[in-house]
Amino acid sequence: MALMGKVVRAPAGAQGFDTDSVVNQHQAQQLRAAGFAFCLRYLSRAEGESSGDLTAAEAGRLLDAGLALMPIQHVARRGWAPTAELGTTNGKAAASNAMAVGFPQGVNIWLDLEGVLGSVLSEEVIRYCNAWFFEVESVGFVTGLYVGAEAILTGDELFWRLKTNHYWRSASRVPPIPHRGYQMFQALAPSPVPGISIDRNVTKDDGFGDSVFWLSPS
């Protein structure tokens, strides 16, 4: 069943949060009242959402509370080795799980790139990302890349070699994206709502005037 909402470009300067915790109705309302405009929640790497990951019911609660919504797929434990084949597998799962939750085409789905094994060649990381992007875009979603610690790739590789136009900067030390820049910035900060751990984020138009696409509440 499709989620109720509309896919729109995010305005610059909107404040939001990402969390690995299930957000209940009261928490969603409190976070919205605290000034947050959007939320990012996790999809599983395997097809079919795991316990604790985003469901259609939770997505509906977040939208009902007035929060725009985007999904991001979990990354493997630190020290993982990306390959093109794994990118295909994980990309298919991300697209399938996003559709199962009820996201419409045109929403940004985010690839979490961090914790890559240090001995992995950058070419393998590039092939992994582009295979993932292909699978997600093939069913009508928009791709985005969360650039975290130990992503291996340089700024030039992130910009010139990856087939995405959307970048999210983590709170870790990561390279700038040449020419384009980032469209979302993460900061580590305490949650204003008890019982849930969050990271804060803020949106920005990049150097080319592009921004993220989220599912806005009806």
Per-residue pLDDT at 48: 86
Q: How many CA atoms are closer than 13 Å to the CA of 205, on its beta-carbon side?
A: 7
pLDDT digits (tens, 9 = 90+) for 116-130: 999 999 999 999 999
Which is it for the CA torsion 183, 74, 137, 129, positive or negative?
Answer: positive
Find the length of the chain.
Answer: 218
- Read off φ and ψ for residue 30, nearest 5 degrees: -65, -40
CATH class of segment(s) 6-216? alpha beta
Q: How far apart are the first and last CA of the chain?
A: 15
Q: Look up residue 98 and give its two tokens.
A: 């996003």
Confidence of residue 146 (pLDDT cuts 50, 70, 90): very high
Per-residue pLDDT at 1: 77
pLDDT digits (tens, 9 = 90+) for 61-99: 999 999 999 999 999 999 999 999 999 999 999 999 999
Kindly give the interhelix angle for 25-33 and 56-64, rounded to the nearest 10 degrees.
30
Q: What's the rounded Cα separation, in Å, for the pair 126 and 83? A: 9
pLDDT at 47 over 90: no
Cα angle, residue 141 at apex, residues 208 and 55 outer, rounded to 5°: 125
pLDDT digits (tens, 9 = 90+) for 181-213: 999 999 998 999 999 999 999 999 999 999 999
Q: What's the rounded Cα separation, in Å, for the pair 120 and 151? A: 10
**Domain-wise residue ranges, the chain:** 6-216
Q: What's the rounded Cα separation, in Å, for the pair 105 and 141? A: 5
Per-residue pLDDT at 49: 87
Q: What's the rounded Cα separation, in Å, for the pair 118 and 152? A: 7
Q: Are strands 199-203 and 184-187 parallel, antiparallel or unpaired?
A: antiparallel
pTM of the predicted structure, to 2 decimals:
0.97
Following DSSP, what letter does each residue of 63-104 receive, concatenated?
Answer: HHTT-EEEEEEPPPPTTB---HHHHHHHHHHHHHHHHHHTPP
Q: What's the rounded Cα separation, in Å, for the pair 5 and 145? A: 23
